[in-house]
Amino acid sequence: MFEEGQYFAPVVARTDGTLAVQLGEGHPGLNDPEYRERRDLLATQADRWSAGEPAPHVEYTDEEHEVWRVVCEDLRDKHRAYACGEFLDGKEALQLPDDHVPQLEDLSDRIEPMTGFRYRPAAGLVPLREFYGALAERAFWATQYVRHHSVPLYTPEPDVLHEVVGHGNTLADSRFTELYAAAGAAARRVESTEALEFVSKVFWFTLEFGVVHEPDGLKAYGAGILSSPGEIEEFRGMTIHPLDLAAMGRQTYDITRYQEVLFAARSFAEVQDVVGGFWTDCDDDSIAALSAAGTASSTGR
C-alpha cells in the first residue's frame, strides 16, 4: 500500500555517504536541478541525525517561506469551514506562524508540554514498524522539505506542510495524541506483516484521511485532507462509508492521489471509542478474525 509513495520518491545512498532522493516521473521538481539538490541536502541532514540531538536546523529560503505562506493563507478559511472542532482546538492552541516555515525543534518544544510529543527528522518515507513504533514513544517522524514552488497547492508526497499544518495541529491536542500513541502501541504489539498493515490502514483512513459528521455537516479530522488545499474542497464528494474497521483493513488506496473512499464517524467520540479501542486491544489473532469476518461479509458468505 505504501509502494506508490516509495516508488515516487525513494531515497538511496551514494558512495560518499550522502543521500539522493529519486523523484518519480511527473513530480513537479523532477527537472529542477536546484530543487533536487535541496531535497538531497535535507535528506542527508535528516539521515545523519541521532536520537537525543536537536532536529537539524534548516535555513529555509524566501521561496520556501512563500510556499508556506501561500498554502497557509489558502487553508485559513477552509479550515474554519471544513475542519472538525477538535482539530480547530489544536490549531488554536499551537498558533502556527503563517508567514514562515517553523523549525521542527521549535515546534517540539511547544508541543511537548501540551501532549508529550516531539518531532523526529525523516529523510523520506519511514518503514511502517519504525514510524508507528515511534508513536508509542510520543515521537513523530517528519520530513523537512517544502513542496516544489511551481505548484504550491499540490504535493504528491508528504512534505513539511503536511507534517506540521496537518499533523502538528493534532499533536497539540491530547484527544488526537492518545490515538497516535495507541496506534504506536498496537504496531509494536502485533507480529505479522499482515497485522501491521491492517493497523496502518486503519491509521490511514482515520488520522490521515478521517472524516466525521458534525451538526453542520461532514468535517475532516485527517491530516492528509486538512493539509491539502485541493482535497479539503473535494472530500465531501467522495464515496463515504460508515466507520468500519474491517472495511478499512481491506480497502486499497494510492498515496499520490485524492482518496476516493473515506470512512465517516458519527462523532469524534466514536473515533476515540472504536478506533482507539481497536488499537488498544488488537493483536494478531483479533486482526485475523476481523479480516476474515470482513472478507466473508464482502463476499456474501
User: Which pLDDT score is estimated for 236?
Assistant: 97
Phi, psi (rounded to 5 degrees) for 200: -70, -35
Per residue in 110-122, pLDDT tens? 999 999 999 999 9
pTM value is: 0.93
Q: Domain limits of the chain?
A: 3-299
Per residue in 11-34, pLDDT tens? 999 999 999 999 988 899 999 999
pLDDT at residue 299 greater than cutoff 80: no
User: Which pLDDT score is estimated for 257?
Assistant: 85
- The answer to whether 160 touches 141, Cβ cutoff 8 Å, is no
Confidence of residue 255 (pLDDT cuts 50, 70, 90): confident
Q: What residues are labeled active site?
A: 162, 167, 208, 227
Residue the block writes with cell 458519527? 266
Spatial separation of the C-alpha atoms in residues 80 and 189, rounded to whole Å: 37
Mean local confidence (pLDDT), 34-40: 98
Quickly count helices (H) and strands (E) in the chain: 16, 8
Q: How much is the CA Rg of the chain, to the nearest whole Å?
A: 19
Q: What is the CATH number of domain 3-299?
A: 1.10.800.10
pLDDT at residue 171 greater than cutoff 60: yes
Residue the block writes with cell 486503519? 202
Helix (H, G, I), strand (E, B) or coil at 150: coil
Per residue in 216-232, pLDDT tens? 999 999 999 999 999 99
Answer with the residue of higher pLDDT: 298 or 102. 102
Mean local confidence (pLDDT), 104-133: 96
